[in-house]
């Protein structure tokens, strides 16, 4: 029954659309604000990508030679969180969300699809 419901329901973001006056309140048309949000998105993307690369370097260095022993990663964000490479990935997706459009119905719809994609591939 559930699969039939999803198969017959057309996918539309119209259900998530806000009235026009509320959209204007959430999305000021200030070019300066758009540039600042885009700049923050680019900086966050670059910083999170670099951090994820560094975490993968640390994880790759744990297996040297034919050793199969498990070692606990040390350094960088591993001292603060248990899975910093996943945290960096979430930050990358947050940066893409900022670059997409920040807020709004289409941005939220895309964000929901990205979260489902990531959760399905864990």
Note the pTM of the prediction, 2 decimals.
0.62
Question: Contact at 8 Å (CB) between 102 and 37?
Answer: yes
pLDDT tens track for 12-53:
555 555 555 555 555 555 778 878 888 888 999 999 999 999
Q: Among candidates 59, 82, 89, 54, which has minimal Cα distance to 71? A: 59
Q: Look at residue 24 and give its three-state secondary structure.
A: helix
pLDDT tens track for 65-117:
777 778 888 888 888 998 898 889 888 888 887 887 655 556 677 777 777 87
């Amino acid at each position: 029954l559930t699969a039939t419901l999803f198969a017959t329901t057309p996918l539309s973001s119209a259900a998530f659309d806000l009235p026009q006056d509320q959209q204007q309140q959430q999305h000021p048309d200030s070019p300066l604000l758009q540039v600042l949000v885009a700049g923050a998105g680019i900086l966050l993307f670059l910083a999170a990508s670099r951090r994820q690369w560094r975490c993968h370097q640390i994880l790759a260095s744990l297996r040297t030679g034919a050793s199969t022993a498990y070692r606990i990663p040390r350094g960088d964000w591993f001292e603060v969180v248990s899975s910093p490479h996943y945290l960096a990935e979430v930050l990358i997706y947050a940066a893409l969300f900022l670059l997409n459009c920040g807020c709004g119905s289409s941005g939220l719809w895309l964000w929901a699809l990205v979260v489902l994609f990531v959760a399905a591939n864990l």
